[in-house]
Amino acid sequence: MQRLDHAWRILGTGAALAFIFFGGGVLASLVLPAVLLMRTRQRERVQLVLHAIFRFYLVCVTKLKIITVEFENPELLKAPGGRLIIANHPSLLDVVMLMSLLPNAQCIVKNQLWNHRFLGPLMRRAGYIRNDLEPEDLLAACQESLAKGQSLIIFPEGTRSEPGQAPKFRRGFANLATLAKAEMQLVTITCTPPTLIKGEPWWKVPPVRPVFRLVVGERLDADSYLGYPHRSLAARKLVQSLERYYAEKLGYA
């Protein structure tokens, strides 16, 4: 039975990833034309469609016993107002879990996704932000989203976590937080045993069902870091503070 369960989860993982990368093309061809017939709030409606799809996706993969997903304090993400959703990034499914909880999430997406044959149309119609914009344009796009009350999902590591190592954050999110004087909602994500991690092929599924746990924790205000004489120093202090926070939450401290 254990071997059968393992084989089932390998097949299910492959199908689930295919749904994400190729189902986007089906969604774009079937759903987007109907959404685009509506003349107002097209981006918000596309984001709501993606939110509903990801909620349905998580229900399917959990009901089919491919993974287990647990949320703690998810209601904190529904508070009104634009803020940065800061999370560590252990797995490919992190953004799926976050977007399933956020009806109008804004994301910074890689150039590869923006130009992806199947997912690209969704990224563009949803109004997501390209990560290869000029720094000034990227900052302006992020500030505009926050001003509109959208939650902006950011993984400060810039890529998936290195297995077995405490997260190391890039300074870009801290520059944005201090410039925009933004609130930050901290989210900790764990996966036990690890799966879909950096540098490992998707078919290397662990022998037991992985348990994903997403914990919505503290909310910080960037204003508390603005007392330093230089903003660059404030950004560096913010990075150091959050690296310590996540190291402690993930058991590396």
> Residue 222: which CATH number?
3.40.1130
The pLDDT of residue 36: 66
**What is the pLDDT averaged over residues 102-106?**
88
Name which residue leads in pLDDT, 73 or 34: 73
Which pLDDT band holds residue 76 (cuts at 50, 70, 90)?
Answer: very high
Range of the structural domain that residue 199 is part of = 2-249
The pLDDT of residue 102: 92
The pLDDT of residue 194: 95
> 47: helix, coil or strand?
helix
**What is the pLDDT averaged over residues 93-99?**
94
Residue 75 is given by DSSP the state G
Residue 190 is given by DSSP the state E
User: Would you list the DSSP string of 91-153?
Assistant: STTHHHHHHHH-TTEEEEE-HHHHT-TTTHHHHHHTTPEETTS-HHHHHHHHHHHHHTT-EEE
Token readout for 37 is 């017939």
Q: Is the pLDDT of residue 41 over 90?
A: no
What's the chain's average pLDDT?
88
> 74: helix, coil or strand?
helix
Helix boundaries (H) for the chain: 2-30, 32-36, 42-63, 94-101, 111-114, 120-125, 135-147, 172-180, 231-249
pLDDT (tens digit per residue) in 122-149: 788 888 999 888 888 988 999 899 988 8
For residues 243 and 234, is the Cβ–Cβ distance under 8 A? Answer: no
State the Cα–Cα distance between residues 171 and 173, nearest whole angstrom. Answer: 6
Token readout for 207 is 């022998």
> 214: helix, coil or strand?
strand
Name which residue leads in pLDDT, 242 or 223: 242
In the chain, how many domains are there?
A: 1
Token readout for 82 is 């634009």
Q: Is the pLDDT of residue 37 over 80?
A: no
**What is the pLDDT averaged over residues 3-10?**
93
The pLDDT of residue 135: 84
Which pLDDT band holds residue 250 (cuts at 50, 70, 90)?
Answer: very high
